Amino acid sequence: MRIALVQAGIDWSETGKNNERTNRAVNGNPGADLYLLPEMFSTGFNGICEKDPAESLGTMKELAARNNCAVAGSIAVELDSGLKVNRFYFVTPDSVTYYDKRHLFSYGGEHLNFTGGTERTVVQWKGIRFLLTVCYDLRFPVWSRNRRDYDVMLCVASWPVQRRYAWDTLLRARAIENQCFVAAVNRVGDDPSCHYNGGSVLLDPWGREIAGCPDGEESVITGEIKMESLAELRRTFPVLDDADNFVLSV
């Protein structure tokens, strides 16, 4: 499978401009099976929400249908109930699956505007199982512990440059400890609070880089994952057999 990392800047609260950027990125880089977008790619990390169903979800659906691919990324959404969620959509030509970010970034006040999700979400596309995670989730390994239920961890983020070392380190840790591929996309550019320099990367189950975007630049980089190598690793070095059993309560 070919996975495209869409490392993009985000215009603050400019949904139309951001969706057009997404259109250019996907349509201008054909041939991938999955395009991964940053966290809150349509607005930036600012608490402003699109009404459900989100306008930007429509953009994702159109791109998935036109390119016969999956498009994944998070959108800030206000539901009919009035609740606001940071919703990670995984869109294919035939389906829409979503995960609501579980771990809200209280240090930045996200918990004051949004409601955290309660359901861990794994979605299947072209025979591969993907775990959906968003930004701050990366710091909580129990939530993403591989229970033999996924092959690739997806992480979309707005992760500022001052904590970039943690981003790089935690991504590799999640790949190694869960014997999975990791595809992670972080934004670039600036908002009123932070500077972002990317670090978008595709890792193999040993934590080694398959493909990565240049720091600080808008770019679309595609890498290929091979499930045969994952199956061989899990067969010959079956560390997941020794994992602790536990029950996760929310």
Residue-wise pLDDT tens digits, 85-99:
999 999 999 999 999
User: Helices 15-27 and 55-67: crossing angle, nearest 10°?
Assistant: 10
The answer to whether residue 14 scores a pLDDT higher than 80 is yes
Stretch 102-118: mean pLDDT: 95
| Residue 27 pLDDT class (50, 70, 90 cuts) | very high
C-beta separation of 122 from 150 below 8 A: yes
What percent of the chain clears pLDDT 70, i.e. is strictly above it? 100
pLDDT bin (cut points 50, 70, 90) of residue 47 is: confident
Triad 17, 19, 20: Cα angle to 5°: 65
- Percent of residues, the chain, with pLDDT higher than 90: 96
* For residues 222-247, average pLDDT: 95
pLDDT of residue 139: 98
The whole-number average pLDDT for the span 146-174 is 98
DSSP designation for 172: H
Question: Contact 90/97 with Cβ under 8 angstroms?
Answer: yes
What is d(CA 230, CA 38) in angstroms, rounded to the nearest whole number?
26
Give me the residue label for tokens 């035939």: 94
What integer is the mean pLDDT of 209-214? 98
Average pLDDT, the chain: 97
Question: What pLDDT score does 249 carry?
Answer: 80
pLDDT mean over 31-41: 98
pLDDT attached to residue 246: 86
Structure tokens at 192: 């009123």
pLDDT at residue 247, rounded to an integer: 85
User: Would the pLDDT of 84 be above 80?
Assistant: yes
- The pLDDT assigned to 250 comes to 76
Distance of alpha carbon 248 from alpha carbon 54, whole angstroms: 31
Q: What is the pTM of this model?
A: 0.97
Token pair belonging to 37: 């977008």
CA distances from 198 to 9, 12, 77, 104, 241 (A): 9, 17, 24, 20, 34
The Cα 127–Cα 70 span in angstroms is 13
pLDDT at 32: 98
Nearest to 23 by CA among 41, 3, 47: 41
Residues identified as active-site: 39, 101, 135
Residue 223 is encoded by which pair of tokens?
A: 């890498």
Nearest Cα neighbor of 91 from 142, 154, 18 is 154
Contact residues for 53 (Cβ-Cβ < 8 A; gap 6+) = none
14: exposed, middle or buried (C-beta count within 10 Å: 0-12, 13-18, 19+)?
Answer: middle
d(CA 190, CA 107): 19
Tokens standing for residue 75: 């959108």
